[in-house]
Amino acid sequence: MVFFLGPGLLIYVVFSVYPLLDTLVLSLYNEQQGQTSFVGLQNFITLVTDDTWSQAFWNALGNNFKFFAIHMLVQNPIGLLLAVLLSSPKLRLSGTYRTLIFMPTMLSVVIIGFVWQLLLSPIWGISENFLYSIGLGQYFDAWLGKESSALITLAFISVWQFVGIPMMLIYATLLNIPDDIVDASVVDGANSFQTFWHIKLPLILPTIAMVSILTFVANFNAFELIYAVKGALAGPDFSTDLMGTFFYRTFFGFQLQQGSASMGAAVATLMFLIILMGVMLFLFFIQRRIQRFQF
């Protein structure tokens, strides 16, 4: 036991458990002029009730839920659709499509941010001409710069980048469904939609549930794309501020704003708790009801 688990456990404790616990402890302290003192839950109370902090906090949390909702409503259904299309035996070149669709996931977020900014740029971008060529030119706007559309645009960019992950996971599950079950449904007279709805979908539900929880965790930890495109101040008027960028500003500071390690730890702890709660709700209410099938 010690030999097998020891090394892994040690690395896990040193690099994951200890920093996490240290963050939790740090969030109970306050530092002023180099003096550290124990303040209990004061940091958290400040964070959710004091106007200067709570506005930014609730705004970031709200934006984060919007960001997550867009991923759930757009990324995962598209991922599912793509996976179903890809697993269709009639599709030619499916390997090429699979690779192409998965490609952006492997690119650095900085590159994604830069490329999309160029594409969408009202000055140099090609999207305006493209829209004109299909007759929708009058709808073009500086989407990344408008308060009403910046967050949605960023969420779509992120969806575009990561749609490959749900696609691959669902695709792999679809391939695992034995042909005899599908054949049996066809023999019973089901059309292709009925086969999908009554046979395949129940079998891939556990994967869809897992994809959802992965999306949840990834979205509430999201930071890079916003930072790369809008900077740490997540403009305009903090409309693209997520928990990640809020944490960054609090912990590291920004420009003339001095960072605060203890306040930053409090934000990180709240992020941890939110994700923990989400995962727990998922485990209690969804995971336990999901039936797994052995073939």
Where do contacts with other proteins occur on this chain (CB under 8 A)? 33-34, 51-53, 117, 120-124, 141-147, 230-231, 233, 235-238, 249, 252, 254-258
What are the residues whose beta carbons fall under 8 Å from the beta carbon of 3, sequence distance 6 or more? none
Of 133 and 258, which has the nearer Cβ to other proteins?
258
Q: CB 236 → other proteins: shortest distance, Å?
A: 6
Cα gap 259→26, rounded to integer Å:
14
Cα gap 248→254, rounded to integer Å:
8
Of 153 and 161, which has the nearer Cβ to other proteins?
153
Of 51 and 179, which has the nearer Cβ to other proteins?
51
Contact between residue 270 and residue 189 where contact means Cβ atoms under 8 Å apart: no
| Distance in Å from the first CA to the final CA of the chain | 32
Of 216 and 238, which has the nearer Cβ to other proteins?
238
Of 147 and 183, which has the nearer Cβ to other proteins?
147
Identify whether 236 is preceded by a cis peptide bond (ω within 30 of 0). Answer: yes
Q: CB 70 → other proteins: shortest distance, Å?
A: 19
Q: CB 77 → other proteins: shortest distance, Å?
A: 28
Q: CB 3 → other proteins: shortest distance, Å?
A: 37
Q: CB 111 → other proteins: shortest distance, Å?
A: 16
Q: Measured in whole angstroms, how far is the alpha carbon of residue 153 from the centre of its chain?
A: 14
Q: CB 20 → other proteins: shortest distance, Å?
A: 22
Q: Which residue, 200, 218, 206, is CA-closest to 75?
A: 218
Of 213 and 224, which has the nearer Cβ to other proteins?
224
